[in-house]
Amino acid sequence: MDLEYDAFDEGIEPGGLRSRNEIKVLVCYLLKSIEQPISKQLINEILQENSLANYFEINQAVSDLVRAGSLEEAAQEGDTVYRVTDQGRSAAQTLEVNLPRSVRELSLIHI
């Protein structure tokens, strides 16, 4: 897979994601793996804590995934949470092998 490095990489460690498409796949993978809705803030904390993706790119990825129908927004205890749709789950299952194993593991380590 030929990747285009089109994402901001401020705060990203070597091995972190620098492709917007990879970040979208990682967000879907994360939500598919934890099997529960979570806030955008928590998505950001998980991915930034491990220097996997840039804050602005994560937020853009979530917005793009909602528009594309891969994520759904829901209200939960006064907060907006996100869950992966069947479309997003299918994409994550198909494309997660393109993410480095270390990235997949780090995204789930503190959950």
pLDDT band at residue 3 using 50, 70 and 90 as cut-offs: low
Cα(1)–Cα(86) distance, integer angstroms: 24
Pick from 95, 18, 88, 103: nearest CA to 57: 18
pLDDT band at residue 111 using 50, 70 and 90 as cut-offs: low
Pick from 83, 80, 102, 84: nearest CA to 93: 84
CA-CA distances (angstroms) from residue 64 to 34, 56, 57, 68, 102? 20, 12, 10, 6, 25
Residues 9-55: pLDDT tens digits?
Answer: 777 776 778 889 999 999 999 999 999 999 999 999 999 998 899 99
Residues 80-109: pLDDT tens digits?
Answer: 999 999 999 999 998 888 888 888 888 888
Pick from 98, 62, 111, 68: nearest CA to 86: 68
